[in-house]
Structure 1
Amino acid sequence: MRQIVFVATFALSLSTPASALTCTPGPWIVFFDANAAYADRNAREVLHDVGEAIGSCGSPRIILEGHTDAQENGRLASERLDMVRTYLEAHGMPHRSIAVQSFGSRRPRVVRKDDTPERQNRRVEIYFAPLL
């Protein structure tokens, strides 16, 4: 009898992708072109991965943090957040499960002494947290 249980368990583990077995809370990072808030191909791939990962985390609260580089208007962080939130909602995440915070250029990922534009700073970071 033990062999049958082992075989069934082993077969289940082979048919279930490893990523589906664990929740990865992030961060996922969507980068943007200068002065832009649209999702390019790379951004869409990250957002697709986020959508796939949400299922392995149950029904998490999603935290979005919007950022700009030092050369951009801080409003762009909010526009980027809106784009990511709209994408997640269009793919089944309830509006009430998504929290957003705009930081503008206050939290750079890469510090530049001369405030030159930096793609790594033009981003939205996505995290999952348990619902309370």
Structure 2
Amino acid sequence: MQSHPYSWNYIPLVLQILVAIGMGCSMTTVSWLIGRHRNSKTKLEAYECGIPAEGDARGRFSVRFYMVAMLFILFDVEAVFMLPWAVIYRKLPAITGSHMFGFWEMLVYLGFVLVGFFYIMKKGILDWASDKADL
């Protein structure tokens, strides 16, 4: 039995990458070759969601927009921490000595998250119906 170098194991991956790049380039080239190139004022005009563009794109946004984005990241990270905990919950006695230690630790974590959630609810950050929130 003849063995080959370890780097040969990467040949399928390299071939897949080359095929993907080749297909992308070839589709773009063929589209450019057979497509029409007639630009008009209407064609070059900005268009989004069926609504003509109005005003300057560099307008100011409400700070609530950024707050909601940060809150989304915060609660997304919460889910990232809870999923592994839920997966290994039954194995916690072997790791920590008891189920209850891991349970109380997660309860403390969720308590901190809930305090933050109630704080943002009290501040009205998620209440988009009102004009202003006390930030």
User: Could you say whether these structures have the same fold, taking a TM-score greater than 0.5 normalized by the shorter chain as the test?
Assistant: no
TM-score by length of 2: 0.27
Specify which structure has the higher proportion of helix: 2
Bigger Cα Rg = 2
Specify which structure has the higher proportion of strand: 1
TM-score by length of 1: 0.27
